[in-house]
Structure 1
């Protein structure tokens, strides 16, 4: 009997967990019990049969200061990941998100066994900054699965085969989302405006982004008593979010789970969102938003001159600022509250922004093939090309 294909999936962030789960599900649909999974991921990958080697919340970090703080622990987890591969001898390794962690694992695995196909799923954003990373990645892995149409030229120029599979965030299904269900569950009146607060999925984001978001929300609530505040909490930070919100002087509803998140996105009048994948999901839901972000001061000082603006993908696709971006020193409670208030008070402004967001999503490839299926097909093609005839 032929042994099952062994696929190693490594994801360390909530968005990577989602992509890893989608890829595992698609591979399982094609291969059934002829595939097994090992690696690291979160709750979504676990639901698809990927038993995680460690708690990925340990690596949900951003910025120089955070990276230095967890460096010794991260190196131990790199050791554990490589040891797992040495023991299980996977047929292919797919490294998702987390540039620094993925690169270290890839380089170690390359030395361990040069024959193992190494695939990077999601490219570093070299079109925004640090173009030299394309050359570094080309030396470290065998293939790239990209989620943006504009990735390939940067990496193929360095000799790295690249397959565009699409962005899973563009395939989020809102057909079962029910705004009325959310309002009923949390006793929110049908006509009450809802401010959605999305502070991120990393502990560092909760520490740096949630405080100005919270103050802005409370400023708005003070002048609008009927405003309801809803906070969808990612699994990686749910307890930290609930702990902070418990001390607020005004009520806010913390919701957990994917269905509740989708319900809240459809129900929201406007959102205050941390920069990231969630902005695409909000745009798909037809929710106007204001985007904010903060990182540690040292990292910002190092990268500020290197990063091209805007940073939000649908703003880039649109070629204009569709949703305001309040970054670092501009991400103040007062500025956030002012931009949110404009949208709460002006239905026409909300409608124009939603229409512009939808147009940008079309440019990004909304309606294309399922990214998880495309990624699964690419993985199987890579393996087939390496199998002797």
Structure 2
């Protein structure tokens, strides 16, 4: 009888991937039993808590943008080589490469060369529905199985011959039942009626550098008109130290909180959120928080992406609704007066907030809210792939 545990390599390179990897790790342990699965790979603090010991800090790989990617190329190649070396040492039975297309593709190529029979799973598809459809063919040549979080992804990859399983978005399974708005208010000294603005500047170093100063100036405008406004900033683990350092120098006080529990308390307590585009917008919608979404890219990256992008929305629930349920302030529109204006509209109008929350919830249902647990579905697909 073979008693060797199943060795699963999980690779994530940014905060959202770390979260998905941790959820998958928990589901694998629950289904197979603690002693029947061994987890190795690359990830952040959440995956580390599930037993995945990463050989390096993934914060340096949290890259978005063409120019940023070019500048970080050598670092990405070096870390991909390290991932391949880790696989050579640990000899996994399957490798699951999560999101972060540029990095995980390079890891997959190295693993394929050194271990041709190793099953390779891509978890979260590149967004070929939005831009660069040729990536579907590239994915089909690099991976054995795709786990997709969007139902509409499957045909785009299956036509290229890549086996695809829709597992759903694990973000939609986040449970806010334990969140306590009163606990957050007490921790920052806010009164029961004080408005709270939640500021979420992103989880990548480049986002903090480019977007947080703009958010600071927008907050200054709002605080000048509303001295009672409480500002709370949940800091992603990948950039927490940088965020705390920058916010310490703000003209107006902001409360930086860390950890999942504090973030969920803040999302439930917030009156309005000013959020960098990304996974966090879905979390905010789940918490019932109205928001203004913003993003800035390097000018050259933005100019190139404008030629490539095939959708006018960047926020997932806006895409699902095919409408600007939440306003998207992108590039030139991501400026302090415009951001302050959109946030102020929502701070001052309870009916506008309530209507936006209702439309956000309707869009979440279109995205699959209330379906089976995506972590379980992903674990089942991985286990089935390697089952004898």
Among 276, 287, 296, the alignment partner of 1:285 is 287
Matching of residues 48-59 of structure 1 within 5 Å: 48-59=50-61
Partner of 2:200: 198
Query: Partners in 2 of 1:314 and 1:73 — Cα distance?
Result: 33
Moved more, 82-91 or 189-198: 82-91
Question: How far is 1:330 from its partner?
Answer: 1.0
Where does the alignment leave 5 or more consecutive residues of structure 2 unmatched?
none
Matching of residues 1-389 of structure 1 within 5 Å: 2-32=3-33, 33-307=35-309, 308-384=311-387, 387=388
Question: How far is 1:68 from its partner?
Answer: 2.3
TM-superposition CA deviations, 1:90-111 (whole Å, max 9, x none): 1000000110111111111111
SS of alignment partner, residue 305 of structure 1: helix
Question: How far is 1:23 from its partner?
Answer: 0.5
Q: TM-score, normalization: structure 1?
A: 0.98
TM-superposition CA deviations, 1:316-373 (whole Å, max 9, x none): 1111110000111110111100100110111100010000000000011000011110
Query: Partners in 2 of 1:110 and 1:78 — Cα distance?
Result: 13
Query: Partners in 1 of 2:89 and 2:232 — Cα distance?
Result: 45
SS of alignment partner, residue 370 of structure 2: coil
Q: How many residues align?
A: 385
SS of alignment partner, residue 304 of structure 1: helix
Question: How far is 1:74 from its partner?
Answer: 1.6
SS of alignment partner, residue 120 of structure 1: strand
TM-superposition CA deviations, 1:202-229 (whole Å, max 9, x none): 0000001111111101110011001110
Query: Partners in 2 of 1:284 and 1:35 — Cα distance?
Result: 32
SS of alignment partner, residue 151 of structure 1: helix
SS of alignment partner, residue 367 of structure 1: coil
SS of alignment partner, residue 308 of structure 2: coil
SS of alignment partner, residue 209 of structure 1: helix
Question: How far is 1:269 from its partner?
Answer: 0.3
Moved more, 64-73 or 344-353: 64-73
Question: How well do the aligned residues superpose, as a CA RMSD in angstroms?
Answer: 0.8
TM-superposition CA deviations, 1:160-213 (whole Å, max 9, x none): 000000101101110010000000111011100000000000000000111111
Query: Partners in 1 of 2:88 and 2:298 — Cα distance?
Result: 36
TM-superposition CA deviations, 1:251-271 (whole Å, max 9, x none): 110000100000000000000
Question: How far is 1:157 from its partner?
Answer: 0.6
Query: Partners in 1 of 2:115 and 2:242 — Cα distance?
Result: 40
Query: Partners in 1 of 2:252 and 2:61 — Cα distance?
Result: 32
SS of alignment partner, residue 72 of structure 1: helix
Query: Partners in 2 of 1:380 and 1:366 — Cα distance?
Result: 24
SS of alignment partner, residue 152 of structure 2: coil
Query: Partners in 1 of 2:331 and 2:100 — Cα distance?
Result: 22
SS of alignment partner, residue 313 of structure 2: coil
Query: Partners in 1 of 2:55 and 2:42 — Cα distance?
Result: 5
Q: TM-score, normalization: structure 2?
A: 0.98
